[in-house]
Amino acid sequence: MELADELGGTILIVDFGSQVTQLIARRVREAGVYCEIAPFSMAEEAFAKLSPSGIILSGSPASVPAEGSPRAPQMLFDSGLPILGICYGQQVMTKQLGGEVRPGHETGEGGEFGRAFLTVTEDCALFDGLWKVGERHQVWMSHGDKVTDFAPGFRIVAKSDGAPFAVIANEEKKYYGTQFHPEVVHTPDGGRLIANFVRHVCGLSGDWTMAAYRDAQIRAIREQVGDGKVICGLSGGVDSAVAAVLIHEAIGDQLTCVFVDHGLMRANEAAEVVSLFRGHYNIPLVHVDAEEMFLSGLEGVTDPEAKRKFIGKTFIDVFEAEAAKIGGADFLAQGTLYPDVIESVSFTGGPSVTIKSHHNVGGLPERMNMQLVEPLRELFKDEVRDLGRELGLPDAFVQRHPFPGPGLAIRIPGEVTKERCDILRKADAIYLEEIRNAGLYDAIWQAFAVLLPVRTVGVMGDARTYDSVCGLRAVTSVDGMTADVYPFESAFLQNVATRIINEVQGINRVVYDYTSKPPGTIEWE
Ligand code: XMP
């Protein structure tokens, strides 16, 4: 069966380098339709792979009137498929179909940036069940250039003060263009406009599900792997776990998982991973207890980068040795996600396509001469969680906060010892238990305790104490790239502080970290 049939139809998103192209994909998938993003320079290949039912042209930092600015491949217009152009996408479509686009300063009106209001002037399929003629609606604009003359066959269906061509439509061809960005949350009805395009205009049913995705991936994994052997490193995190369970469903015991326990895990984490994989799924699992090796190598190491480098290298050494013991493997499985593989295009449209590549176990595939199996490459983080649930992973596991590869080592500034890891594990467990009890766990992107290399004086039961300081961190975030401090009630923090000081020997003071990212990072090292 064709990929498009298997997935219930697809949409191709052509990327011209906008900062928010990924949000278009989010909105299309929220409408229950599978889509992929391709840089404009690779749109033809993606078209052949996806056999899409419709095309969306993204925004861009480039300017259509500027020489050398990117264009959509002509074959997209020749395909006869519906097209939605967003911002630059609207302008480039207009230009390529015979209309005119001019820089804002030439029109004497300047651009429009931020919140704007448009007025609906005519009915249009994009507005079905949503917007009526004469209504005003909030949208989000971000453009300098503007369409000054539309292409033959188009008409204006909505206008704003700064953009007389706020929405244009050629219903016969099923071409639509919005000057605003429907994909961002500041266009409150944007998701529904995009849903109208993919469902009403492109005729897709919107019933793409994780079950369909899982089945398509299982077939793809079987095809790729054949009767080869696959090895998968488990980190204790959600991504590698979901990848492993999916691959196991596809190829059974051709998969072996290796869990390198570096002794820098949180309380009970290692036991949970082992019982989930061996007990619940019956997946062949090599559990390597390498605590001694990691902790002895970390003796006297205080520099954050030196810690990270040592842990990364030792992880690869241990993993490689275990792989050799089980007779090697042809494939290495990784839980790489979509945001890590989307290719971002340069806005000049030149050949310098930057490809972000992300290897969870960097350097290993080349060193061991293995091919990669990455069944989550098309998914966003929350979709991985949905897939995990689809595969029967327990909710508590699927909803876990991210945890860094180097583990507690980068939450213990200064020297890492077993004693300090144990102290931190206890404090961290109390903090997370209180967060769960308060029903706050899912509202927080990541929360953890940090053990500082600072001792302060305290008094407990008439005795003087001289113990370590524990820092608490909790942030909200969408992707970990930027983060805000989670605003706990002070009574909550006081309670956590009291419990930690009373129950964890070695800590006599607790502080809360009020630093956002930037300027801070989420982890302390
Ligand atoms: P920072 O500290 O850079 O962290 O603001 C952003 C997100 O990435 C996680 N993180 C890591 N994850 N290996 C990982 O797998 C690492 O070396 C690593 N360092 C940071 C961090 O926990 C946060 O979610």
Closest to 450 in 3D by CA, of 367, 391, 507, 370: 507
Question: Mind listing the pLDDT tens digit for each residue in 422-472?
Answer: 999 999 999 999 999 999 999 999 999 999 999 999 998 889 999 999 999
Mean pLDDT of 196-216: 94
**DSSP per-residue codes, 104-130:** HHHHTS--EEEEEEEEE-S--GGGTTT
Backbone φ and ψ for 432, nearest 5 degrees, come out as -70, -35
Mean pLDDT of 4-31: 91
The answer to whether 232 and 364 have CB atoms below 8 angstroms apart is no
Mean pLDDT of 487-495: 98
pLDDT-derived band at 1, boundaries 50, 70, 90: low
pLDDT-derived band at 157, boundaries 50, 70, 90: very high
The answer to whether 357 and 340 have CB atoms below 8 angstroms apart is yes
Distance 402 CA to ligand 1 centre (A): 8
Structure confidence at residue 57 (pLDDT): 98
Mean pLDDT of 472-499: 93
Range with lowest mean pLDDT among 85-94, 126-135, 190-199, 396-405: 396-405
pLDDT-derived band at 151, boundaries 50, 70, 90: very high
Taking the CA of residue 477 as reference, the ligand 1 atom at the shortest distance is: 24
3-class secondary structure per residue, 409-460: HHHCCCCCCHHHHHHHHHHHHHHHHHHHHCCCHHHCCEEEEEEEEEEEEEEE
HSE, CB side, 13 Å, CA atoms: give it for residue 75.
12
Taking the CA of residue 521 as reference, the ligand 1 atom at the shortest distance is: 5
Question: Mind listing the pLDDT tens digit for each residue in 254-268?
Answer: 999 999 999 999 999
Q: How many residues are given for the chain?
A: 525
pLDDT-derived band at 491, boundaries 50, 70, 90: very high
Residue located nearest, by CA, to atom 9 of ligand 1:
404
In the predicted model, is pLDDT for residue 349 greater than 90?
Answer: no
153 token code pair:
């066959």
Q: Which residue has the higher pLDDT, 377 or 507?
A: 507
Distance 59 CA to ligand 1 centre (A): 30
Q: 336 CB under 6 A from ligand 1?
A: no
Mean pLDDT of 497-511: 98
Structure confidence at residue 344 (pLDDT): 55
Distance, first Cα to last Cα, the chain: 49
Is 143 one of the annotated active-site residues of the chain?
no
Structure confidence at residue 53 (pLDDT): 98
Whole-structure pTM value: 0.80
Structure confidence at residue 356 (pLDDT): 31
pLDDT-derived band at 108, boundaries 50, 70, 90: low
Structure confidence at residue 6 (pLDDT): 81
Q: 404 CB under 6 A from ligand 1?
A: yes
Question: Mind listing the pLDDT tens digit for each residue in 45-83?
Answer: 999 999 999 999 999 989 999 999 999 999 999 999 999
Strand 175-178 and strand 167-170: the pairing is antiparallel
3-class secondary structure per residue, 483-514: EEECCCCHHHHHHHHHHHHHHCCCEEEEEECC
Structure confidence at residue 358 (pLDDT): 38
HSE, CB side, 13 Å, CA atoms: give it for residue 252.
2
Q: Which residue has the higher pLDDT, 405 or 292?
A: 292
User: Taking each helix axis from N to C terminus, what angle separates 238-251 and 210-225, rounded to the nearest 10 degrees?
Assistant: 70
Distance 404 CA to ligand 1 centre (A): 5
The answer to whether 103 and 144 have CB atoms below 8 angstroms apart is yes
Strand 446-460 and strand 112-120: the pairing is unpaired
In the predicted model, is pLDDT for residue 127 greater than 70?
Answer: yes
Q: Which residue has the higher pLDDT, 106 or 100?
A: 100
In degrees, rounded to 5, the angle at the alpha carbon of residue 329 between the alpha carbons of residues 323 and 335 is 85
Structure confidence at residue 504 (pLDDT): 98
Helix (H) or strand (E) holding 54: strand 54-57
- Catalytic site residue from 181, 262, 287, 401: 181
**DSSP per-residue codes, 368-386:** TT-EEE-TTTT--HHHHHH
Is 181 one of the annotated active-site residues of the chain?
yes
